[in-house]
Amino acid sequence: MKQTKLVEITDIEKQKAILEEAGRIIRDGGLVVFPTETVYGIGANGLDADACRSIYVAKGRPSDNPLILTVPDEEGARQAAAVIPPTAQKLMDRFWPGPLTIVLPRKPIVPDAATGGLDTVALRCPDHDICRAFLRCAGVPVAGPSANLSTRPSPTTAEEVMHDMDGRVDMVIDGGPCHIGVESTIVECNGDDGVTILRPGGVTIEMLQEVVPHVRLDTTLVTGKGVPKAPGMKYRHYAPSAPMTVVVGPVDKVTEKLQALYDQAKGEGKTVGFLVSEEVGASFPHKDMYIWGRHGDKEALANQLYTGLLSFDSDKVDVILAEGIDDEGLGLAIMNRMKKAAGGHVVIVG
């Protein structure tokens, strides 16, 4: 078991030596957890096959699941990408740094262990100053999937990271809470000056449509069938310890349905946890309840979703009843995560 060093970064310049140490750990083949604007990532040298494989071991993640390589800027992307087509350049100009991952043809220097054996590589430049300072110190593209055990909710604080990763990584950089809370959008570029969304995230369909004329959803997102081509989409993911049901609709209808589910669970002698808005939560006992914000506030739900799910690891319950949201805008990413966390148990009421 590794001795994990936890460091809090509050001043990049004054604490540059710590970031340089983290960079050395990466270049030497070690593992460093780092903050981003979306979730915390577990980092390894993305050009070192053995280092990439150590991520799979730390996470308990299948090795055919590709990794995202994080870079501090466009120049960093050129270390790994064989070509950056015009559409990808437009996206970088508009959304980097930010929560957008772009799938591009890879250079031979990028190992199969980073791509899941694909001939493409997923690249992103996070919108987080501490993260990009760390990446510059590393000097190589850093493979950075979410810093959680495979299938579990992604961490948005260093405390949540330590729950899963203490003893599994060399260092954890605490850069404060992540402000978006769901992972990046992943896209691949098409030949018609358009993109296909492989995983919804912090950059919405509407935002992409402002830059490129054609935006499609990958067929596996629409049908739920086939083999996903994006990191984090191939296997069960984001799941809390207890089974969860998600209900979507107006406050009164959601409350009514959750009441029926609550009564059923209590009748079976089960303890119930609630992941709901303030308005819906007002109708239920506040024991084992996580309020994520006001009804309809997608930014609040995205920001609090994983923390809410993880809270039920400490507040042990038999069943989780959750309130979802419509799938417009950021809601597409939120409901993608909630559906996976609930194993598809989503009820629409209206």
> pLDDT per residue over 68-77, tens digit each?
999 999 999 9
d(CA 58, CA 252): 44
- Rounded mean pLDDT of 336-347? 94
d(CA 336, CA 44): 27
168 labeled part of a ligand binding site = no
Cβ distance 69 to 143 under 8 Å?
yes
Domain span at residue 159 reads 5-223
Residue 232 has pLDDT above 90, yes or no: no
Q: Which two tokens stand for residue 141?
A: 């593209």
Residue with tokens 């799941």: 239
Question: pLDDT value at position 316?
Answer: 86
In a domain, 76, yes or no: yes
Looking at every residue in the chain, the average pLDDT score rounds to 93
Whether 198 and 250 map to the same domain: the answer is no
Whether 311 and 211 map to the same domain: the answer is no
154 labeled part of a ligand binding site = yes
Question: pLDDT value at position 224?
Answer: 52
* CATH number for the domain that contains residue 286: 3.40.50.11030
Residue 89 has pLDDT above 70, yes or no: yes
Work out how many domains the chain is built from and give that number: 2
In a domain, 228, yes or no: no
In a domain, 267, yes or no: yes
d(CA 147, CA 149): 7
311 labeled part of a ligand binding site = no
Cβ neighbours around 83 below 10 Å, total: 10
In a domain, 238, yes or no: no
Question: pLDDT value at position 304?
Answer: 97
In angstroms, the Cα distances linking 288 to 238, 247, 337, 338 are: 20, 18, 21, 19
Q: Which two tokens stand for residue 37?
A: 């604007």
184 labeled part of a ligand binding site = yes
Final residue belonging to a domain, choices 223, 257, 288:
223
> pLDDT per residue over 162-196, tens digit each?
999 999 999 999 999 999 999 999 999 987 789 99
Question: Angle 267-270-273 (CA atoms, 0-180°, nearest 5)?
Answer: 115
65 labeled part of a ligand binding site = yes
190 labeled part of a ligand binding site = no
Question: pLDDT value at position 219?
Answer: 79
In a domain, 145, yes or no: yes
In a domain, 237, yes or no: no
In a domain, 129, yes or no: yes
Instruction: Kindly report the pTM of this predicted structure.
Output: 0.92
Within 13 Å of residue 150, how many CA atoms lie on the same side as its CB? Answer: 17
Whether 88 and 174 map to the same domain: the answer is yes
Residue 227 has pLDDT above 60, yes or no: no
> pLDDT per residue over 248-266, tens digit each?
999 999 999 999 999 999 9
- Pick the residue with more confidence: 230 or 35? 35
Question: pLDDT value at position 314?
Answer: 78
Question: What's the per-residue H, E or C state across the chain?
Answer: CCCCEEEECCCCCCCHHHHHHHHHHHHCCCCEEECCCCCCEEEEECCCHHHHHHHHHHHCCCCCCCCEEECCCHHHHCCCECCCCHHHHHHHHHHCCCCEEEEEEECCCCCHHHHCCCCEEEEECCCCHHHHHHHHHHCCCEECCECCCCCCCCCCCHHHHHHHHCCCCCEEEECCCCCCCCCCEEEEECCCCEEEEEECCCCCHHHHHCCCCEEEECHHHHHCCCCCCCCCCCCCCCCCCCCEEEEECCHHHHHHHHHHHHHHHHHCCCCEEEEECHHHHCCCCCCCEEECCCCCCHHHHHHHHHHHHHHHHHCCCCEEEEECCCCCCCHHHHHHHHHHHCCCCEEECC
Whether 261 and 127 map to the same domain: the answer is no
Q: How confident is the model at residue 151 (pLDDT cuts 50, 70, 90)?
A: confident
Whether 331 and 200 map to the same domain: the answer is no
Whether 69 and 128 map to the same domain: the answer is yes
Whether 219 and 269 map to the same domain: the answer is no
Question: pLDDT value at position 111?
Answer: 97
- Rounded mean pLDDT of 88-106? 97
Question: pLDDT value at position 222?
Answer: 56
* CATH number for the domain that contains residue 182: 3.90.870.10
Residue 92 has pLDDT above 90, yes or no: yes
In a domain, 229, yes or no: no
236 labeled part of a ligand binding site = no
Cβ neighbours around 115 below 10 Å, total: 23
Whether 67 and 152 map to the same domain: the answer is yes
283 labeled part of a ligand binding site = no
Residue 281 has pLDDT above 60, yes or no: yes
Residue 240 has pLDDT above 90, yes or no: no
Q: Which two tokens stand for residue 237?
A: 């993911």
Question: pLDDT value at position 241?
Answer: 82
Whether 177 and 288 map to the same domain: the answer is no
Residue 329 has pLDDT above 70, yes or no: yes
Residue 234 has pLDDT above 90, yes or no: no
Question: pLDDT value at position 230?
Answer: 60
